[in-house]
Amino acid sequence: MRRALLIAVPYVWLLALFLVPFFIVLKISLSDSVLAIPPYAPKLDLSQGWAGIREFFAALDLENFVWLTEDALYWKAYLSSVKIALISTILTLIVGYPIAYGMARAPVEWRPTLMMLVILPFWTSFLIRVYAWMGILSNEGFLNQFLLWTGIIAEPLTILNTQKAVYIGIVYTYLPFMILPIYSALERMDESLIEAAEDLGCSRVQAFWLVTIPLSRPGIIAGCFLVMIPVIGEFVIPSLLGGSGTLMIGKVLWEEFFANRDWPVASAVAVVLLLILVIPIVLFQRNQQKQTEAEQ
């Protein structure tokens, strides 16, 4: 009885506030937009029973979804979000892996401190960390001041309000998500395996590629998913650092909802975004479940 209650309370909470809302989004994405409050005309009328449902399917025209394919803005935004997410995931991996590796090879008594140093920025407000880069990357910002002072460049670089700034912002804010899973995989690794590989004639580089990388693979996979999936729908970074030239679907959805007040189209954008994300999310869950079971 008590066990049933323990299961039921969080279960029902998540059903009501996580799963059901998605169906509402789906329903509204099939509605017509009108100038009213709320600004949509529902098509599905359950109060009429079966007749209402039959009428709904007869009149189903998917016009909001057709609209998404007709206006180039939307599919360009989806494509460029996926592209930005893939490239920035690779960049985060390239920056994060050496840090995780260095942490896992550091003296044992340093590790808790290093770990805390990685986690601390993660606890600090996301918004503030993105904001910090606005002052660094602008034309008269610190990076340009520094580069001009060293004489590397003669003219200030334009970085803020371009995609470069978006990549820098993503790598910076999502770095802890990449470092921590890789670090925990590397830390568990038995270092004598490297010695064995070297004894058997591997060079250090070969041993790294053939032993260390495969053994840290679960961490790499988890880190990449943790960065890539949320970045596809990212809103704050492109809107503060990306300028008008950066097209990302999270920003489009936001503007469709808050500026144009077109709820049905915003919902259709969300439904398509979710369809794009279903595959990576399922793969991520599989990976996590396998990890948990391996630990047990």
Among 82, 148, 157, 229, binds another protein (CB under 8 A): 229
Single out the residue of 118, 123, 133 nearest to residue 237, CA to CA: 133
- Distance separating alpha carbons of residues 117 and 153, to the nearest angstrom: 33
Name the minimum Å distance from CB 218 to another protein: 14
- Distance separating alpha carbons of residues 171 and 230, to the nearest angstrom: 13
As given in the structure block, the two tokens for residue 65 are 């979804």
Nearer to another protein, 58 or 85 (CB): 85
**Is there a cis peptide before residue 38, judged by omega within 30 degrees of 0?**
yes
Nearer to another protein, 9 or 62 (CB): 9
Q: Which of residues 25-84 bind another protein (CB under 8 A)?
A: 25, 28, 38
As given in the structure block, the two tokens for residue 25 are 């989004």
Tokens 């995989």 identify what position? 185
Name the minimum Å distance from CB 210 to another protein: 18
Q: Which of residues 231-250 bind another protein (CB under 8 A)?
A: 232-236, 239-240, 250
Q: Which stretch binds another protein (CB under 8 A): 49-57, 72-80, 213-221, 284-292?
A: 284-292
Tokens 């997410």 identify what position? 85
Name the minimum Å distance from CB 133 to another protein: 6
Residues in the chain: 296
DSSP E strands, the chain: 32-33, 40-41
Nearer to another protein, 58 or 284 (CB): 284
Among 159, 170, 180, 270, binds another protein (CB under 8 A): 270
Name the minimum Å distance from CB 214 to another protein: 20
Nearer to another protein, 13 or 214 (CB): 13
Nearer to another protein, 10 or 58 (CB): 10
Among 64, 263, 265, 268, binds another protein (CB under 8 A): 263
Applying CB under 8 A, the site for another protein has a residue count of: 90
Single out the residue of 20, 96, 38, 26 nearest to residue 65, CA to CA: 26
Among 21, 52, 214, 245, binds another protein (CB under 8 A): 21
3-state helix vs strand vs coil in the chain, percent to 5: 80, 0, 20
First to last CA, the chain: 27
- Distance separating alpha carbons of residues 272 and 19, to the nearest angstrom: 16
User: Binding of another protein at residue 2 (CB under 8 A)?
Assistant: yes
- At position 40, the amino acid (one-letter code) is Y
Q: Which of residues 80-99 bind another protein (CB under 8 A)?
A: 95, 98-99
Q: Which of residues 102-161 bind another protein (CB under 8 A)?
A: 102-103, 105-107, 112, 114, 116-121, 123-129, 131-136, 138, 140-142, 145
As given in the structure block, the two tokens for residue 239 are 């809107």
Nearer to another protein, 140 or 155 (CB): 140
